[in-house]
A and B are shown apart, each in its own frame.
Chain A
């Protein structure tokens, strides 16, 4: 039955001849492992077609949907992360296999007459594969792809004469926009794969016409493609699959933060197989030669690689000259070693060197990971991605923006301990927060309040570094004077010194804990105790009336806080203490902090050594800073807590 069906089909299509033609290709000298490269390339291309079509089903090319749709593939769709990971790593495997294929072809002399045309077809295929890598890198529209591709298109634009036109054609306009993505996508998923298929067809056709090049045709009996070579090819493909599968599971394809032209990306690097070119362009002499020749960046990025590639294309002709083949092999080895050396140099400088640039690069990569993960976390939050796109997620995220504002305006005085050595002058104020451990805010937490109460001079010790040198502006002089007064003449410093031991030791520390809890509760933070907590009540009592107790035979008193401080107790309608400044109403909370940063003197009166920031910070910056320092931002763990009861 099957045979009759097969006969019927063969009669009408002649498929058996085709199969025979395909499978019974004779291989003189027997099947060999060194012939597998071409097949692995066909296999990896097949993988790219399969995974590429899958991604296409869910990808949306526009500046407001590209990152978003890739995010959805990566985080919401079944095996989306794996499909994307396979596509990502198979693309890189193709480049590696291409190089192996080229090496084997050159060493075996398979490029020589009459196979010149096929060699050139192969070189065209190589350019297409590199073009696919370049266009694919931009498509997720994340910071990494955006800035790496910027460099490529700027290089294109720096080409003499036709540069600007060429760049606009590729980008779809003078700058990146929706059409940059539609064009890159059309190239990546349409034009280039179609060209690749066409050239691959020609490549295989011409290859079959000339048959395989064998250096030792009598090394073993002649065999056929099926099954001896197919088995070797199959094993090689399986190894490639295992390798990319392993990488896709182990590392995965990263999705960095959504592309943002206003947000610098200091970890910008091209895909690793372009690193040699990247490093080459960093040589000063390359730029200098560009200037001298009037070719600009195109000298290093287009002319030199073009010349190297041109010489590669001339190989079949050079081989006619005596010793030409040896020259070709030596040349290829030299180019590959050169590229490998430059790649190694770039990797060494970025990842292993302890130079300033290396450290900065690694810090930037770290930051890029953090931003990318945060963007995903926010996109997964119940509020999701707004119609304006994922670019807004990080822009309005206090956890991301607060530390940046802090770094610009606050960190020089309030130096984070983890950044020791990165500042020119000494810290002038207590540490408030850390820029690497962003969730951990020291400012106004329980430890902070305890330190202010029991070790005031130590806690504010950095204020001693505020110095008025000769010729300082009046403002600096006033700050220095205030700092001196706070540390040495201030009544709070004395209160703290007098009462620290009493508070710490009396009643097992319960009095201290009381004041701390009472003050902490003024912020309205979620983890504060409620007014019916005994600690709160005790703290409130001490704040209002102070403390009198017996130590041995001696009666000691702790002066009431309300004697000096103004405080409108949170949650109490009319009860207010009006002792004076610093004002503690809502201490550590958002309103208090906002008002305080804007104009510290209004809160601290003359006891203030901090400049006001009302005019320096934009409302948005102030909002981000204050919300970060008070912990008011989205946390993934929070969503789990609140959604759990709803699910029941």
Chain B
């Protein structure tokens, strides 16, 4: 803008060129400063989600044991025939300014394997985050969004999802309950990265 040629309309003004230049420079600097200053806090405020230290949303720590396990279901509720069953994960949820006690925060599939071990998958599809459903007839997990499919043991059976279903640590404790280390992983990438 400062190198714009003088307009013909201003021909009658007998301004000293030097003064005209200083005025232009000052007008630009002061005008620019005034416009840009308010943007600084605004940008810092806008990128708050990226720079915040304290997590504002997610499971709150109170419900978890020190290793991060949450009580999900009674072991008696698992299917005896080795088929997976879906369970809601219920925990305290920090949602910015609120803390919601005992609210549904996600879903997992639990399955009793032949050797008595419990296997657990996060029901969130690793492709793009929809919730997968187990189909009894074909014995596969299918995602209703983009047809990602996984075997009963969680391996992907087509190349739509970038990785297998996310396996979660699960164990039966003395109280007869299945405890799960419930975690969400980023979707759409090959690696397992905790959200």
Contacts and interface: CB of A to CB of B under 8 A. Distances in A.
Interface of A: 19-20, 24, 26, 43, 46-47, 50-51, 54, 57, 65, 68-69, 71-72, 76-80, 82-83, 86, 221-224, 226-228, 230-231, 233-235, 237-238, 241, 245, 379, 383-387, 390
Contacts of B10: 24, 26, 223-224
Contacts of B23: 227-228, 231
Contacts of A69: 96-97
A54 B34 contact: no
A221 B38 contact: no
B42 A234 contact: no
Contact of B44 (A78, A237, A379, A386): A78
Nearest to A80: B45
Contacts of B41: 79, 82-83, 86
B7 A51 contact: no
A241 B39 CA distance: 12
A72 B97 contact: yes
Contacts of B194: none
A60 to B, nearest CB: 9
Interface in B124-158: none
Contact of B97 (A43, A46, A71, A233): A71
Given A77-B45, A82-B41, A387 B98 contact: yes
B12 A221 contact: yes
Contacts, number: 116
Nearest to A86: B38
A156 B110 CA distance: 61
Given A24-B10, A241-B37, A234 B98 contact: no
Contacts of B39: 50
A24 B13 CA distance: 12
Secondary structure class of chain A's binding surface, majority of residues: helix
Contacts of A68: 97-98
Nearest to A64: B98
A50 B38 contact: yes
B193 interface: no
Contact of A385 (B20, B33, B45, B97): B97
Classify chain B's interface size. Answer: 35 or more
A63 B76 CA distance: 43
Contact of A222 (B12, B48, B96): B12
A645 to B, nearest CB: 15
Contacts of A228: 23, 27
B77 interface: no
A434 to B, nearest CB: 33
A291 B151 CA distance: 82
Given A227-B26, A234-B34, 11 more contacts: A68-B98, A72-B97, A78-B48, A221-B12, A221-B13, A222-B12, A227-B24, A234-B30, A385-B99, A386-B98, A387-B101
B14 interface: yes
A384 B99 contact: yes
A293 B10 CA distance: 60
Nearest to B30: A234
Interface string B84-95: 000000000010
Contacts of B28: 227
A76 B56 contact: yes
A78 B38 contact: no
Contacts of A385: 97-99
B31 interface: yes
Given A51-B38, A385-B97, A83 B7 contact: no
Contacts of A65: 97
A47 B38 contact: yes
A86 B47 CA distance: 18
A230 B30 CA distance: 9
